Amino acid sequence: MISIQFADGNIKSFAKGVSADAIALAISPSLRKRCLAAEVNGTLVDLSRPIEADAKVVLITDDSPVALDIIRHSSAHLMAQAIKIMYPKAQFGVGPNIEEGFYYDIDLGDTVLTDSDLPEIEKVMAKLVAQGETVSRQEVTKAEALKMFTNDVYKTEIINDLPEGEIITLYSQGDFTDLCRGPHVPSTKWLKHFKLLSLAGAYWRGDAKNKQLTRIYGTSFFSAEELANYLRIVEERKKRDHRKLGKELDLFMLSEYGPGFPFWLPNGMILRRELESFWYKVHLKEGYKLIQTPIMLNKELWEISGHWINYREHMYTSTIDDQEYAIKPMNCPGGMLVYKHDIHSYKDFPLKIGELGLVHRHEASGALNGLFRVRNFTQDDAHIFMTEAMIVKEISELVRLYDYMYSVFGLSYHIELSTRPLEKYIGEIATWDRAEKALADALNGMGKEYKINPGDGAFYGPKLDFKLRDSMNRIWQCGTIQLDMNLPERFDLTYIDQYGEKKRPVMLHRALFGSIERFIGILIEHYAGAFPTWLAPVQIKVIPVNNEIHKVYAEEIISVLSENEFRIEADYREEKLGYKIREAQTKKIPYQLVLGDKEVAEKTITYRRYGEQEQVTLPIADFVKMVKHEIVKK
């Protein structure tokens, strides 16, 4: 017999080799119906896996936090099974669950899928669900796995990369078998509520040198209602597409003469400058010293920094006076030169240097996407120099700053700690280990939850990534804090300690918005183009009911508003009042002021907020005070 301890602390005895499925049935048949997997000693396993020794067991039911991930991973296999039936020559790359669903990368040979093919794949998936096929797990050796997937170049490559002696697991349902670690649902009957969403191209293993596969995205839920609610959100997201709204609101444009190089239009420049002004004010208050470094610098600098070896394929270069130069893809090396310009003492620390620096990166043309993926963008960069003993305190200060800045925009976040890449990295592993531990210690000391993201650090140091969640429940990578003990070494940065000796500083790279351009794209969709008053390109639209009668008073009101530095537009066109009000709503202007006989007689204004029906009449002084307060409080 073995002892099984449950989440509530209770312990029961079961026969050795008992499965979580049998344990659930022994507790309650109704519980068994709701179970789709189990956690045994902290590891997720299939319900059918035998438990051979004493263990702590958590039964995973449909309301468990990880249950939806399992459903979606199994749905990826279901989709692959359907595709294999429809396209027998298909070969499969990887098919993970992701934040809101799943995808699978597939080599279909000469077959080209379109969106119109997705409903046909869904029909085959539905038939497989109706059959309620059992999902079974099998352990094989590396040699056995290679034999089974001998005709699949992608699975063969994955298997060959696995260490010798590692047990490999396969999952089967019907005639379909896939290479996978699992766990999976017990049966396809769990996968009733799914939807295939879109198609995309994806290079095998993310390398443009490899073949481009067809990536099919989908999602799945436990109920038809949850799926329907999600699909409604997807439709709302399409309406909020920043490329569509950017055009409608005259914010930015893109041109075939500069793919990936956005043009800012007058309204977009106002929005951008307001965001930058906010950034400058906050950073000056936080004690940052602001700099600007050149866009183009000599190749030798990029060799010292390590970018020439590790990032060369993403850099634009040119020859000046027979020497090779590169347009900066990052601000960091210029910041190193600024630091070396002076002699520094430990008394200067922490030394905070900030820069809104324009950088250029050569992105693949197929990856370009509005403001989200561009070839030139402004990083809101900062480099903080300190002693190693200051790391925990300074990271705490940065997280506090991030809390404030993101809260202004109504954005929540979670943190991921990204560790040393397996291949391209600079510096000693021991240095990386110390840096990673310092970041973890700082977060632990603050009581901040975080997730480990193995191998995703920058080539020069580990980092904390801030994943923002917007009003449409999407996750965006924006802020980052990178702890760097390598660049100070490569650039021979020093400071004088309290004993008069030269020491090496520790440096934090830090971006808050990440990219001004991308952050604006996120804000456009987050607010659906209806920006808060402090950010809105036009804050107030003044509309006289009748130009002949009310225009003089409108100009008096505009004069008052202008003196208070509001951004105003007046609509003196000979159009119907309703038309002008509707157009102001379409442009998502925060306030529309309608001025008629009553307002002229009483020396008041009547305003209507964007998205509201209520009209409010009050003295102009009260209106000015109200809007000013709103702008100051953001």
What residues are annotated to the active site? 332, 361, 379, 381, 383, 463, 509
16: left (phi over 0), alpha (psi -120 to 50) or beta: beta
Q: 369: which DSSP letter? A: B
| Sequence-separated (6 or more) residues with CB below 8 Å from residue 343 | 496
Nearest to 97 by CA among 74, 119, 122, 129: 74
Nearest to 296 by CA among 250, 338, 339, 329: 329
Beta strands (DSSP E) in 515-558 are 540-544
Q: 603: which DSSP letter? A: T
Cis peptide before 350 (omega within 30 of 0): yes
CB 215 within 8 A of CB 200: yes
Nearest to 456 by CA among 472, 467, 469: 467
Q: What is the identity of the amino acid at 68?
A: L
Cα 495 to Cα 507: distance, rounded to the nearest angstrom: 12
Beta-bridge mates of residue 591: 540, 609
Other Cβ atoms less than 10 A from the Cβ of 102: the count is 26
CB 293 within 8 A of CB 327: no
Radius of gyration of the chain (CA): 29
Residues 266-299 as b or e (16 or more Cβ within 10 Å = b): ebbebbbebbeeebeebbeeeebeebebebebeb
CB 260 within 8 A of CB 375: yes
